[in-house]
Amino acid sequence: MPQMSPMNWLTLMIYFSLMMIMFNMMIYSSFNYMIKFPQIKKFYQKNWKW
């Protein structure tokens, strides 16, 4: 089995790094979530008796 030249390994690393960055950018930009506003509930009463 022939050995790969270092330049070929470098281009493969750059290629897969760019693919990973592009894939993460696509996932980040396509992620859309609904913002849930907290409903204020009045049943919490602070009754401190020190």
Q: Considering the domain boundaries, does residue 44 fall inside one?
A: no
**Count of domains for the chain:** 1
In a domain? residue 9: yes
Q: Is residue 41 domain-resident?
A: no
Note the pLDDT of residue 39.
66
- At residue 45, the pLDDT reads 67
Q: Quick check: is 42 in a domain?
A: no
Q: Which domain holds residue 3?
A: 1-33
pTM of the predicted model, to two decimals?
Answer: 0.54
Nearest CA among 29, 11, 32, 10 for reference residue 21: 29
Tokens of 39: 């409903």
Please check whether residue 16 lies inside any domain of the structure. yes
Summarize pLDDT for 1-18 with one digit per residue, the tens. 467 788 888 899 999 999
How far is it, in rounded angstroms, from Cα 28 to Cα 38?
25
Question: Does residue 47 form part of some domain?
Answer: no
39 lies in a domain?
no
Q: What is the pLDDT of residues 25-36, one digit of tens each?
A: 999 888 777 777
